[in-house]
Chains A and B, each alone.
Chain A
Amino acid sequence: MKDSGSYQPYSYFQLMEVSLRELLVEKGVVTEAEVAAAVEDMRRRTPERGAGVVARAWLDRDFKAKLLENGTEACEQVGLDVPALKLVVVENTPGVHNVIVCTLCSCYPRMLLGIPPDWYKSHAYRSRVVREPRTVLAEFGLSLDEATTVRVHDSTADMRYLVLPMRPAGTEGWSEERLAALVTRDCMIGVAVPRLP
């Protein structure tokens, strides 16, 4: 929690978290250290992980093929542990644009992208992107022409999804790190595409 220096009473969910955590510690189910380690582990997962995977796929044809065929195994190959994550990677092409949602809750490839943005969990995004994806994408600043097929993927059960965006023109000869810097979180959800700075 941000220390703003002024007193703020706990919100409903903060109070629930504190009460539950203290109870679990008191009962000996978990220790404070284990909770802190789990929180740190979550903090370490950021969209840079996903961006690294995308950049590698742009540079390594075999890795890309593997990633599209079995996302989980491809990530494990490059040392990214993705336990209990069945990763499906969907590829954007000149004729197809993919976008991810979880209409039922907020399923998200956290191991690769970290904590989802608030809008991803909002009712507005979840209910609208399945039925008017083009309008929602336009609101994100991404206008697609009629000829482009829009594929929405609703993450309703055990799979998690990552969009493999198209590599922008004009990036020939770029290093993996430089390419990865173009790949934002939103590109991997499918509400944006990588653009040159």
Chain B
Amino acid sequence: MAENVVCPCFSVGVRVRVRKAYPLGHIRTPYYIRGASGVIERLCGAFGNPEELAQQRSGEPKQPLYRVRFRQQDVWPGYRGGDGDTLDVEIFQHWLE
């Protein structure tokens, strides 16, 4: 039986923005990264949607999960450190645009 999975729509190297939304519930997208833009570092696979799983539902369709690489300078105003410093965060596809 085919797995119930949402197709990944971002490829490695593509620039994405994290949705700036504040819904209630069990959200695995940290506050500090919402609204920030970065680049897809890799596709990690597809996993049950934690927001659904936390409600005792199936978590399906599974959501593609990416590692998104952000420049620290873009995330924190006045960041002290090298220009190349980065922050990699796992973000589910439905949080990216």
Contact = CB atoms under 8 A, between A and B. Distances in A.
Nearest to A150: B85
A20 interface: no
A130 B85 CA distance: 11
A159 B88 CA distance: 12
Interface residues of A, number: 24
A134 B83 CA distance: 13
A133 B86 CA distance: 10
A149 B45 contact: no
B25 interface: no
Contacts of B23: none
Contact of A149 (B33, B79, B85): B85
Interface of B is mostly: mixed
B30 A132 contact: no
Nearest to A134: B81
B67 interface: yes
B47 interface: yes
Contacts of B90: 154-159
Contacts of B50: 157
Interface in B49-97: 50, 65, 67, 72, 75-76, 79-82, 84-92
A156 B82 CA distance: 24
Given A86-B45, A130-B87, A151-B88, A156 B76 contact: no
Given A104-B28, A155-B90, A150 B47 contact: no
23 contacts: A86-B45, A103-B32, A131-B32, A131-B72, A132-B81, A133-B85, A134-B80, A134-B85, A149-B84, A149-B85, A149-B86, A150-B81, A150-B85, A150-B86, A152-B72, A154-B33, A156-B30, A157-B47, A157-B65, A157-B91, A158-B45, A159-B44, A159-B67
